[in-house]
Homo-oligomer: A and B are copies of this chain.
Amino acid sequence: MAKIAYLGPEKTFTEQAARVMFPEAQPSALIPIQPIRNVIRSVDAEDAEYGVVPIENFYNGEVRQTLDSLIECSKAKIVSEKSFDIVHCLGALPNHTTIKQILSKDQALEQCSIYTCKKYPNALEISTTSTSEAARIVKDESRLNAAVIASESALKSYGFEIIEKDICPNNKTRFIAVGKYTPKQTGDDKTFLAIHPSIDRLGILSDISSAFKLFGINLEYFHSRPDGKKGYIFYAELGGHQEEAHVARAIDAVKYALDPKNNFPDTIKILGSYKNTHWKNED
């Protein structure tokens, strides 16, 4: 039976994503693995057929470990994407007192920061390994002055009172499935690139984006990051499949602009082509 690895622990949004992305998988085929790097490596090493990890959240931004791990691997690539609304609620024990501390996973605390800074400006924020772990701690230790940020179902399963629902509106996380084979074209696909120029110079970004514009290719996501060695890596997600001629020619043009003598074969790495779900525009 094909194994599907996902970022653990169990009972998180990533497990939910894995179930939706692989509806035919037996529950026992879904294997929680930590951290993200090990999920992607398990696919690369052929220990798992697929892996499911988060790649981007509206509030936290991209998940750097996911992108970096894909660069490090030789076989694992993005094969599909799926986004979910992440609805956070604030809850506390039914006999709670004035809230002096708020516990949750670090990313959830950051996502809900506009709400918590307004409503509980003096509360101490405490990070936990997962949102459900936050609820467990507050329940086990009977912390009556503590609130927890988690899903409504998680809070209710611990017997918490819901103080407020959906405290971080319009919050979405995009997940990807990682596999070894590039999906066929569907006519509405995207391609994710890591572009690593060997020589930094003025106007690199302009040259890259001009080449894509020239071929009528939309850049959905673009991010420059220092490579730790005085240069930059550019992450780009663009409209089209790597096997479409205009996409292949645009990638070729970018490669030429950055490395005309073809001295640096690692200048562009394709991290995957997959169906475009238009996740940002879903209601």
**Chain A residues within CB distance 8 Å of chain B:** 34-38, 41, 58-62, 64-65, 68, 72, 105-107, 109-110, 113-114, 116-117, 121, 124-129, 170, 202-203, 205-206, 209-210, 212-213, 216, 218-226, 228-230, 280-281
Out of B62, B107, B170, which one reaches A61, CB within 8 Å? B62
**A–B pairs, 13, beta carbons within 8 Å:** A35-B110, A36-B113, A58-B225, A61-B61, A61-B62, A61-B223, A64-B110, A127-B129, A205-B222, A219-B224, A222-B222, A222-B224, A226-B280
- Across-interface contacts of A221 in B (CB, < 8 A): 224
Q: How many copies does the complex hold?
A: 2
A90 to chain B, nearest CB (A): 15
Find A203's partner among B110, B113, B213, B220 (CB 8 Å cutoff).
Answer: B213
Residue of B nearest to A128 (CB): B127
- Assuming the A-B contacts A222-B223, A222-B224, are A117 and B37 also in contact, with contact meaning beta carbons closer than 8 angstroms in the complex? yes
Residues of B within 8 A of A64 (CB): 59-61, 110
Residues of chain B within 8 A (CB-CB) of A36 are 113
CB distance from A230 to the nearest CB of B (A): 5
Contact yes or no, A230 B280, CB < 8 A? yes
**When chains A and B are docked, how far (Å) is the Cα of A68 from the Cα of B171?**
15
A178 to chain B, nearest CB (A): 15
B127 touches A34 (CB 8 A): no
- B113 contacts A35, CB within 8 Å? yes
Find out whether the CB atom of B106 lies under 8 angstroms from the CB atom of A127: yes
Name which residue of chain B comes closest to A130, CB basis. B127
What separation, in Å, do the CA atoms of A202 and B224 have in the docked complex? Answer: 19
Residues on the B chain within 8 Å of A59, using CB = 64-65, 68
Complex contact A117–B210 (CB within 8 A): no
User: With a CB–CB cut-off of 8 A, which chain B residues contact A205?
Assistant: 209, 219, 222
- Which 5 A-B pairs rank lowest in CB-CB distance, beginning with the nearest? A206-B209, A206-B213, A106-B106, A203-B213, A61-B64
The listed residue (B35, B206, B230, B281) touching A210 by CB distance below 8 A is B206
